[in-house]
Amino acid sequence: MIWVMAIMVFLTALATAFGLGMFAAANALDRQLAGRVTVQIVEPDARSRDAHVAQLVAALRIRPGVARVSEVDRAALAAMLKPWLGDAGLDPDLPMPAMIDVDLKDASDAALADVERTARRIAPNQVRVDRHARWLAPVREFITTLSWLAAAAVVLMVSATATVVLLAARAGLDTHRNTIEVLHMLGSTDVQVARLFQRRVALETLIGGVLGTAAAALVALLLQAEVASLGSDMLAGIALARSDWIALAVLPLLFVAIATFAARTGVLRALGKTL
């Protein structure tokens, strides 16, 4: 039972860590994308484009719903387009659109509409406003799906653990049936017999749970370090907080409670049917 419980808790702890990490990533993505928009000015004439950019930046900075406005550097745009355009992205004659990043104080539709009105007033036919949350909505949905799949895996593992305990308790009853009959003749009750199984199952589950949780925590730490070394802003949100580590530490105790309850219920039902 110790090694069976260690494996079950290990898999459950990994699924829990994965789910918590996905929920953290989804929340971090929401915080990063909330109220963030990009304004593009598509103007082939460089002088007109630069003039519109200067006017738009100045106009947006005085809007009450805007927290920050910054023009994206042309060299940064060229670096992003280099895999497709090569060094041609640095050509000043290339009609590359100007991009302005805007952070809104309020991520409401009214604030976004105000930015669009301001932009179209300055450059009516050359402006496009894109909301970052709209771009990455499929990514957000995929992360949410992974989170719920991890939660479903935890539920299945807990159910499987309870089933394993029930089978082990019934096997123990069959193995020690003669001893249990002697205990009954000496005056022992079903509850007292069930307590003997409870204590054994609780001890073995606790030992196996601690081993499985420690192994899962080590794997989670290694994976978290690997993710941090990638330097990706999107993957940086996949990190366990202090409350998440506390939840993992409490996991063995939760399994002890589930296993104890399953053992007690299974033994009492089996004894009630046979006696």
CB atoms within 10 A of CB 36: 18
Residue 85 amino acid letter: L
Average pLDDT rounded to a whole number, residues 65-77: 77
150 plus 209 within the same structural domain: yes
**Confidence at residue 188, expressed as pLDDT on a 0 to 100 scale:** 65
First-residue to last-residue Cα distance in the chain: 27
Rg (CA), the chain: 30
Whether 170 and 263 share a structural domain: yes
What pLDDT does residue 18 have? 87
Burial of 171 (0-12, 13-18, 19+ CB in 10 A): exposed
Could you tell me which residue, 92 or 201, shows the higher pLDDT? 201
Residue 96 sits in the same domain as residue 144: no
- Identify whether 131 is part of a domain: no
Domain annotation covers residue 38: no
Residue that finishes a domain, picked among 125, 149, 165: 125
Helix 2-33, helix 190-230: angle, nearest 10: 40
Tally of structural domains, the chain: 2
Is the same domain home to 142 and 121?
no
Phi and psi torsions of 40, nearest 5°: -105, 135
Provide the CB-side half-sphere exposure for 23 (13 A, CA). 15
What range does the domain containing 179 cover? 2-30+137-274
Query: How do residues 241-268 score in pLDDT, each as one tens digit?
Result: 788 888 888 989 988 888 888 888 877 7
Does residue 36 fall inside a structural domain?
no
Kindly tell me if the per-residue pLDDT of 271 is higher than 80: no
Residue 181 and residue 258 share a domain: yes
CA distance 174 to 197: 13
pLDDT value of position 215: 92
DSSP code for 236: G
Side chain identity at 188, as an amino acid letter? S
